[in-house]
Structure 1
Amino acid sequence: MDHSIKHDDLMNKLAAHLRANGDRMVWEDMQLGPSGSPRPDVYTLMKSYMHPLPTAYECKISIADFRSDVTSGKWQKYFEFAGAVFFCTPKGLVQKSDIPNGCGLIWFYPDSGTFKTIKGPTLGRVTLPQAALLKLLIDGLKRLQVPERRSWEQEHRMMQQLRRRIGDEVSRLPPEQAER
C-alpha cells in the first residue's frame, strides 16, 4: 500500500476538510500554551458557545511515527486542551485496534482526496485555560492575515507575469494582427 503523502500535505488537507462546513474554527500546528505544551497538527473549536468541543488531530504518515507517539503517551497531553483526540492517517496505515482507547481514527483516501472517520473518539468535557483561548485568538488572527497577504502578493506576481507574457506574444504578432 502506497502511503507517499507528506506530513504537511496531509495536515493541510485535513485542515481544509475540517474548515469546509464552516462550523468550526481551525488552527494548524498551533502550540496551545507556553513552551513545552502540546502542539497538535490540527486543532478545532466548534462555533458554539455551549458546546465548542475542542478537538486535537495528529497526522501520521508512518507506522513508526504513530507507534512512537502512542508509546510515549504524547497524545494524552492533548486532553488538557481537548475533549477529543483523533489520529489521521492514510487509509490502512493503522487499524481501529491500533488506536488508543478514547481516541478516534480518520483515514485519508489519496486516490479520491477524501476523509472518512473510521473510529469516533470518546468525547470529554474540557475547560480551556484563559491563556490558551487568548493564544488561539491572537495567534490565529495573525496566521489568518499572512495567507491573505501572501495571496495578494502571489496574485500580483501572477498578473505581472501574465502581462509580460501577453505583451511578448503580442509583440511577436505581425502588425496587422496586433492591431485587432
Structure 2
Amino acid sequence: MNEQDAINALRTRHSEDVFVPKCKTGPSGHRGQMVQMDAWAMAKSWTTPTTWAYEVKVSRSDFASDTKWHKYLPYCNQFYFVCPAGLLDKADMPAEAGLIVITSGGKCYTKKKASHRQVAIPEDLFRYVLMWRSHIRKEGDNSREQRTEKWREWLAEQKDARDLGRKVSGHIARRYERDVTEVRLKQHALEKDLAALEDVKKFCDENGISLHWSRQHHLRNVKDAIEKALPPRLMNAIKTTHAALGDLVGQVSSKED
C-alpha cells in the first residue's frame, strides 16, 4: 500500500463529508506557520460539527521520525495516523492520536479511536478550503433527497418519452393502414377499368378493327360494312332515292330564289 491508496480509502470513508487531501492550514507564503495534512475532513452537520486530520505512514521509520503531527491538532477534533495493516499497533499511538489501518481490500478499520477534543478551528483553514479547494454548488445539490428527486425526474421523463413514442407509433400505424386501404381501392378500380379495356380490345380484334385507326377510317369501314351487308337491289334503291331527293332539294331551292 502506498500513500495514495490510503488517501483513496479515506475518501471513500468520507464520501458524505467534506474531504480535502493534501490540505494546507493557510497561505503558502506563511512557511513558518503553515503545515500540510495528508488529509482533512469535515462532517456536513450543524448539530455535530466534527473535523478530522490524517497523517499517512507507510513505514515504521517514517512514523518514528515524525515531529510535525502535533501541529495538526489545532485544526481538528480528532487526529488519526493511517497505515497498512500490521505496520503499527494502538500501543504505538500517542494519547491524542487514533489509529486507522487499511486492509488489503482497501477498507478502513479503526484500531484505536481518537479522543474528541473541543477546539476552535482557525479561520485560515476554512479560508483555504473555501478559496482553493471548493466548488460552489446550489444548496442541497448533492443531498440524498436532491439525488432521489433527480432520479424521479429522470424516470418521469423516460416514461413521458415512452408514452409519446407509443402515441406517435400508433398514429403512424393508423395513417399507414388508411393509406394502404386507399391504394388497394384505387388498384381495384384500375383493374376493373383495365379488364373493360381488354374486352373492348378483344372485340375490336375479332372484328378487324384497329384501335390505332383515325375516325374517318372507322367511318369508311362502317360504310363499307353496311354496303356489303345490304342486298344489291336495296343498296341501288337507296342510292336512287338519295339522288332523287337531291334533285328535289335543288328544285325547291331555285324556286325560292
Q: Same fold (TM over 0.5)?
A: yes
Deviation at 1:12, TM superposition (A): 2.4
Superposition CA RMSD, Å: 1.7
- C-alpha contact (below 8 Å) 2:5/2:106 kept by paired residues: no
Where does structure 1 lack aligned partners over 5 or more consecutive residues? 145-180
Give distance in 2, aligned partners of 1:15 and 1:38.
Answer: 20
Q: In the alignment, which residue of structure 2 is the partner of 1:164? A: none
**4+ residue stretches of structure 1 with deviation over 6 A?**
none
Q: Deviations over 1:99-124 (max 9, x none)?
A: 111210001011x2211100001110
Deviation at 1:134, TM superposition (A): 1.6
Q: In the alignment, which residue of structure 1 is the partner of 2:4? A: 8
One-letter amino acid matched to 2:78:
A
Radius of gyration: which is bigger? 2
Q: Deviations over 1:14-67 (max 9, x none)?
A: 222322xx1x11000011113332211110111112332121011111111111
Q: Which has the higher contact order (CA 8 A, sep 6+)?
A: 1
Residue 101 (structure 2) pairs with residue 104 (structure 1): no
- C-alpha contact (below 8 Å) 2:2/2:58 kept by paired residues: yes
For 1:86, which of 80, 86, 94 is the aligned residue? Answer: 80
SS of aligned partner of 1:78: helix
Deviation at 1:130, TM superposition (A): 2.2
Q: Deviations over 1:80-104 (max 9, x none)?
A: 1111100010001000100111210
Residue 50 (structure 2) pairs with residue 53 (structure 1): yes
- C-alpha contact (below 8 Å) 2:53/2:78 kept by paired residues: yes
Q: In the alignment, which residue of structure 1 is the partner of 2:134? A: 141
For 1:39, which of 36, 40, 55 is the aligned residue? Answer: 36
Give distance in 2, aligned partners of 1:113 and 1:132.
Answer: 29
One-letter amino acid matched to 1:10:
A
Residue 114 (structure 2) pairs with residue 121 (structure 1): yes
Give distance in 1, aligned partners of 2:23 and 2:111.
Answer: 25
User: Which has the larger strand fraction?
Assistant: 1
SS of aligned partner of 1:30: strand
Give distance in 1, aligned partners of 2:8 and 2:76.
Answer: 20
Where does structure 2 lack aligned partners over 5 or more consecutive residues? 138-257
One-letter amino acid matched to 1:60:
K
SS of aligned partner of 1:26: strand
Q: TM-score, normalised by structure 1?
A: 0.68
SS of aligned partner of 2:76: coil
Give distance in 2, aligned partners of 1:81 and 1:90.
Answer: 24
Give distance in 2, aligned partners of 1:128 and 1:96.
Answer: 26
- C-alpha contact (below 8 Å) 1:53/1:125 kept by paired residues: no
Deviation at 1:132, TM superposition (A): 1.8
User: Which has the larger helix fraction?
Assistant: 2
Q: In the alignment, which residue of structure 1 is the partner of 2:218? A: none
Q: Deviations over 1:121-180 (max 9, x none)?
A: 1110111222221211122226x9xxxxxxxxxxxxxxxxxxxxxxxxxxxxxxxxxxxx
Q: In the alignment, which residue of structure 2 is the partner of 1:63? A: 60
Q: In the alignment, which residue of structure 2 is the partner of 1:17? A: 13
- C-alpha contact (below 8 Å) 1:26/1:43 kept by paired residues: yes
